[in-house]
Amino acid sequence: MMINSEKLDHVLQNFVAGLSEVQGAAIVTPDGLPLASALPAGMDEERVAAMSAAMLSLGERIGSELSRGSIERVLIEGEQGYSILINCGQDALLLVLAHKSAKQGILQLEIKRILTELKLIFS
């Protein structure tokens, strides 16, 4: 499958620019390779991709061990904000970094919107 990285970058840039609570976003493969990103300055996209793969792996293990079924998303809440990892295709994950002040309902709606857009690109 041919991936249009320019289009992915454009979608991510618009997503991050359109929501003040979103600090950054990246699309990575489940094995930790970066496909596209709109991350804060100084954040290494390869390192972010590797950590995203580790988040997914740990989430899947926990889901399996605790009989929660397949993982829909992995959410990490820290004192500075949120890291949300979501499947956006068979071979891609969306990582969203959001401020602590982000309203969860609005953030989830916007994530749902961008997922629809990304799934069209990946299909």
- Is the pLDDT score of 24 beyond 90? yes
Question: Where are the extended beta strands (E) located within 6-119?
Answer: 22-28, 34-38, 73-78, 81-89, 92-99
Confirm whether 123 is domain-assigned: no
- Tell me, what CATH number does 37's domain have? 3.30.450.30
Confirm whether 80 is domain-assigned: yes
- Is the pLDDT score of 48 beyond 70? yes
Confirm whether 114 is domain-assigned: yes
Confirm whether 40 is domain-assigned: yes
Confirm whether 99 is domain-assigned: yes
- State pLDDT tens for residues 52-103: 999 999 999 999 999 988 888 999 999 999 999 998 878 899 999 999 999 9
Q: Domain limits at 25?
A: 5-118
- Across the beta sheet with 22-28, the strand order is 34-38, 22-28, 92-99, 81-89, 73-78
Confirm whether 43 is domain-assigned: yes
Residue that has been written with the tokens 């990304």 in this structure = 118
The rounded mean pLDDT for the chain is 91
User: Rg for the chain (alpha carbons), in Å?
Assistant: 14
Question: Residue 114: which residues within 8 A CB-CB, separation 6 or more?
Answer: 11, 15, 25, 94
Question: Residue 35: which residues within 8 A CB-CB, separation 6 or more?
Answer: 3, 5, 8, 27, 28, 29, 92
Question: Residue 7: which residues within 8 A CB-CB, separation 6 or more?
Answer: 121
- Is the pLDDT score of 26 beyond 90? yes
Tally the domains of the chain.
1
3-state SS assignment for residue 40:
coil
**Helix 104-122 vs helix 5-18: crossing angle, to nearest 10:** 170
Task: Give pTM, 2 decimals.
Answer: 0.91
- Is the pLDDT score of 1 beyond 60? no
